[in-house]
Amino acid sequence: MNVFLCESIHPAALELLKSRAEVVSDWAELGRVHAIINRNLKLPRSVLEQAPELKVIAVHGTGSDGIDMEYCAQHGITVLYVPYENADSVAELIVALSLTLLRKLHLADRLVTSGAPIANAPPQLFGRELAGKTLGLVGAGDIALRAARIMQAGFRVNVIGYSPSLTPERAEELGIACCATLDDVLRQADIVNLGVHLLPTTANLISDREFSLMKPNAILINTSRGGVLDEAALYRAITNGTIAGAACDVFVSEPPRKGENPLVGLDNVICTPHLGANTDEALRRVGVTMVEEIFTVLDGGEARYTYHI
């Protein structure tokens, strides 16, 4: 079997892949590949048409955006994904970004490394505690709920959430409060976490109107997909003082670059290059599971998790 791979995966996953497959990394050789491993690739019809032997696209994690799903359905191409295996890493990043923003740790590091004279505990670095704040979940998937449990158990954070699939009964089981609308979450939360898939219905889900509903001292965390957030509206909300700050691990154009994305470099914005699942543990779990699933499909079996249209 020939598997196309032009992005990095965990060494253990690569070793497993090479035990049974030839690894192809040249785009010009797509015509002979049976599987494609996709971390951050764009796979439109024009690319997929170059791979007539293609049987499976394996998403390294989750998310089908960028893949022509209609073409895959028409040509019997399995699009598999690997949920849950990176959830702890992304959840921990959500907590870390929240603490960093509230305590202004990124600004403290910038001040110290700048070499400028500063006093201990200067006024410009006055922060706020995470303890007792209200976390608002926009989307109540596995990652968001893991972050919520960490904050509840470790910081006595109150958790509210909205999702079309979240019922009051399910919310009670989870130990969170169910909001009837997205607007209710935005009005009440001190920390708003975006945890939704990028779909036509969620594109620019948070824009000017939504920011206007948030508290002036609220912060926003986005580790889901860049397109669910209107970045121009976020820039306006930050620079106008509509909200207090934001941390984004995902962007419409990645990685974010200073001079190209006006959010980069703002004092109350943290920009990271899509590293939510970039831990040794998560990459090993996701990579090995993904390769095993590729083998299963190419051997004639069925993957556990697949996307459909």
pTM: 0.89
Residue 247 · residue 219 · CB < 8 Å: yes
For 308, phi then psi, to 5°, come to -135, 160
Same domain, 184 and 225: yes
- Would residue 106 show up in a list of annotated catalytic residues for this protein? no
Instruction: Provide the edge-to-edge strand list for the sheet that holds 56-59.
Output: 22-24, 2-4, 35-38, 56-59, 78-80
* Predicted pLDDT at 305: 97
pLDDT tens by residue, 129-188: 999 999 999 999 999 999 999 999 999 999 999 999 999 999 999 999 999 999 999 999
Task: Give the residue numbers spanning the domain of 15.
Answer: 2-85+279-298
* Predicted pLDDT at 76: 97
Q: How far is Cα 176 from Cα 174, in angstroms, rounded to an integer?
A: 6
DSSP label at residue 289:
H
DSSP per-residue letters across 254-302: SS--TTTSTTTT-TTEEE--S-TT-SHHHHHHHHHHHHHHHHHHHTT--
Q: How far is Cα 99 from Cα 306, in angstroms, rounded to an integer?
A: 35
Element (H, E) at 99: helix 87-103
Same domain, 206 and 127: yes
| Residue in 225, 231, 285, 293 annotated catalytic | 225
Q: What is the CATH number of the domain that holds 180?
A: 3.40.50.720
Instruction: Provide the edge-to-edge strand list for the sheet that holds 177-178.
Output: 177-178, 158-162, 134-138, 191-194, 219-222, 245-248, 269-271
Same domain, 139 and 260: yes
* 304 is a domain residue: no
Same domain, 294 and 250: no
Walking along the chain (309 residues) 10 residues at a time, the average pLDDT comes out as 97 98 98 96 97 98 91 98 95 98 97 94 96 97 96 98 95 96 98 95 97 98 96 98 98 95 97 95 97 98 93
Residue 182 · residue 210 · CB < 8 Å: yes
Q: How far is Cα 68 from Cα 115, in angstroms, rounded to an integer?
A: 50
- Would residue 274 show up in a list of annotated catalytic residues for this protein? yes
Same domain, 43 and 106: no
CB atoms closer than 10 angstroms to residue 142:
15
Same domain, 96 and 228: yes
* 14 is a domain residue: yes
Mapped onto helix, strand or coil, the DSSP state of residue 203 is coil
* 148 is a domain residue: yes
* 129 is a domain residue: yes
Same domain, 199 and 180: yes
Q: How far is Cα 298 from Cα 250, in angstroms, rounded to an integer?
A: 32
What is the domain count for the chain? 2
Same domain, 75 and 153: no
* Predicted pLDDT at 65: 85
Name the region of 214 (left: φ>0; alpha: ψ -120 to 50; beta: rest): beta
pLDDT tens by residue, 217-237: 999 999 999 999 999 999 999
Same domain, 121 and 257: yes
Same domain, 224 and 205: yes
Hunting for tokens 């920011």 — which residue is that?
211
- Would residue 209 show up in a list of annotated catalytic residues for this protein? no
| Residue in 39, 60, 274, 285 annotated catalytic | 274
Q: How far is Cα 199 from Cα 202, in angstroms, rounded to an integer?
A: 5
* Predicted pLDDT at 63: 85
* 303 is a domain residue: no
Same domain, 101 and 145: yes
| Residue in 7, 129, 172, 254 annotated catalytic | 254
* 115 is a domain residue: yes
